[in-house]
Amino acid sequence: MKYFVYTRKSTDREDMQVLSIDSQKEEILKRFSNLEIVEVFEESFSAKYPGRPVFNEMVERMKKGEAEGIISWHPDRLARNSIDGGQIIYLLDINVLSDLKFCSYNFENTPEGKMFLNFIFGQSKYFVDKLSVDIKRGNRKKAERGEPPRWATTGYKNIYINHNKTWVIDEENKEKYRKILEEAKNPDVRLSDLVELSKKLLVKTRGNKDFTLGSMDHWLKNKSLCGYFTHKGEYYKGSFEPLISEPLWQEIQYVRGYLTRPRLKKYDDFLFPAILKCKECGCFIVTYEKEKYYKGTDRRARYRYCACGKRKKELHCGQPPTTEKEMIKQFEAEMMNKITIDKDVWELCKKLLKIKHQKEMESQTTIMAQKQKEYKNVKEKLGKLLDMKIDGLIDDKEYLEKKQQLHLQESRASEQLQGIDKSIDRWLELAEEFFDTAYKAQKAFEEGTLQERRDLIRTVGWNFFLYNKKIEFEYKKPYEMLAFRPENTNWWCLLEKVA
């Protein structure tokens, strides 16, 4: 039997106690010198995730029949993830892989052997997963104590105090770094000037490379310069001495334009953002404020107007602006007043809905009993079919064909039962929500928050346009039935259409 030798070592913490690749290879070749070894595969790659190129190459060559067995130091060298572990087990199942040999574990290609091998793969995955969780928890605790769980940035060095890594200022070059940072707060000094200064002072980045425009820009933004560090996207106050003071770092950010005052959202109390469009050119309607001075009474007043944003300059839109108050009046008159129902109608509709729901329940109960009977019949047929198969009345081919047909019938009957159960209450919920909205529409539009009023407008209508200061829109179903209902409405008929 031909064998491949697979050795692996990664730089992750998972392999800190594992032999080097050369040691693994030496031990394997010494112990299994009597076997026919075709090739030795060496790989420096973590097995925590699938996608190891050398391992995949070895598997592909095994599938081509170049070898029937694998030798490795331990099963965790082959897999520490469920996909690669499952692949090894599957290759054993289909006889592509006939044997596995390990220096620290005895494997037999039997059902029990594969079961125990699967346990070892699972244990290896558990070890890696738990180690990852423990490391993340430890790093978070370090961060909370002010100990950076990462390598020092430019201007600092890493040292270990009582086996705990921390940062200290690079004493040899600290004055040079501070000189660059002092120059950075001068608005007349360009980024390229700071790079040239770093070259004159013979200071380099953390990776012992010359500063470039990009690395200098990134370094000046780094809040580690004033005693902070980041971990998982959060800032922590470090326990180490900062290279510069925080006020100086803040000044550099403002001068360089890295840090600006947050922009306030203008006019976020307007009612119609991204709702209305101009019918002439298709641009969104924008809202703006304008101040007017009344000379006679010596007072100033602010008014809000809605007008086409005119983003498409080539169309020369000529639509005039209108006041926000006028727009709100139109929405009240053209939309809310037409769909609002009074309390008596609302209570009547609620009663009618309950009556209709009760009838639906009775009807659905009958249908459900019928479907349950069909489902039960299919189950009985499956049982009888199995008895016929055991008694030898039908052959395997006929049995499988009949069984497949009955399973399809069983699945269809089960889906129909579930659909009936869900639909019984769903239409009642939607109908009640519709009538509740219609009952409260006028009051909600007058007294609700801005977001509630916007949501109400979008719930009731769509395709909103402004043309010649008039709002045009379409009602959504079923609100159009309320808006265009006759005076003597037959509410039962309307309810039938809604529900």
Q: What is the CATH number of the domain that holds 231?
A: 3.90.1750.20
> What's residue 420's pLDDT?
61
Helices 491-498 and 396-447 pack at an angle, to 10 degrees, of: 130
Same-domain pairing of 135 and 163: no
> What's residue 418's pLDDT?
67
Domain-embedded: residue 38: yes
Same-domain pairing of 166 and 48: no
Domain boundary among 256, 290, 319: 256
Whether the pLDDT of residue 424 is over 90: the answer is no
Same-domain pairing of 85 and 36: yes
Whether the pLDDT of residue 21 is over 80: the answer is yes
Decide: 311 and 340 in contact? Cβ < 8 Å. Answer: no
pLDDT confidence tier of residue 142, bands split at 50, 70 and 90: confident
| Parent domain of 57 | 2-141
Q: Which of 199-208, 221-230, 299-308, 391-400 has the lowest mean pLDDT?
A: 391-400
Domain boundary among 117, 141, 165: 141
> What's residue 113's pLDDT?
86
**Per-residue pLDDT averaged across 92-120, rounded?**
87
What is the Cα–Cα distance from 203 to 103, expressed in whole angstroms? 51
Domain-embedded: residue 491: no
Whether the pLDDT of residue 478 is over 50: the answer is yes
Domain-embedded: residue 458: no
- Taking CA atoms, 230 is separated from 142, 163, 247, in Å, by 12, 21, 19
Same-domain pairing of 111 and 217: no
Same-domain pairing of 136 and 252: no
> What's residue 39's pLDDT?
92
pLDDT confidence tier of residue 22, bands split at 50, 70 and 90: confident
> What's residue 33's pLDDT?
87
Helices 111-144 and 82-93 pack at an angle, to 10 degrees, of: 170
Whether the pLDDT of residue 461 is over 50: the answer is yes
> What's residue 264's pLDDT?
39
CATH assignment of the domain containing 38: 3.40.50.1390
Same-domain pairing of 51 and 126: yes
Beta bridge mates, 467: 470
Domain boundary among 225, 256, 287: 256
Same-domain pairing of 121 and 160: no
State the total domains in the chain.
2
Per residue in 61-80, pLDDT (tens digit) is 999 999 999 999 888 888 88
Q: Which of 300-309, 369-378, 486-495 has the lowest mean pLDDT?
A: 486-495
> What's residue 267's pLDDT?
46
3-state secondary structure of 442: helix
Same-domain pairing of 181 and 93: no
Per residue in 241-264, pLDDT (tens digit) is 899 898 888 888 888 777 654 443
pLDDT confidence tier of residue 11, bands split at 50, 70 and 90: low
**Per-residue pLDDT averaged across 298-310, rounded?**
85
Domain-embedded: residue 36: yes
Numbers of helices and strands, H then E, in the chain: 16, 14
pTM: 0.38
When the pLDDT of each residue in the chain is averaged and rounded to a whole number, the result is: 82
pLDDT confidence tier of residue 4, bands split at 50, 70 and 90: very high
Q: Residues 6 or more apart from 277 whose CB is under 8 A from it?
A: 283, 284, 285, 464, 465, 466
DSSP string across 198-261: HHHHT---TTS----HHHHHHHHH-GGGGTEEEETTEEEE-SSPPSS-HHHHHHHHHHHTSS-P
Same-domain pairing of 185 and 113: no
Whether the pLDDT of residue 490 is over 70: the answer is no
What is the Cα–Cα distance from 173 to 180, expressed in whole angstroms? 11
Percent of the chain at pLDDT > 90 equals 15
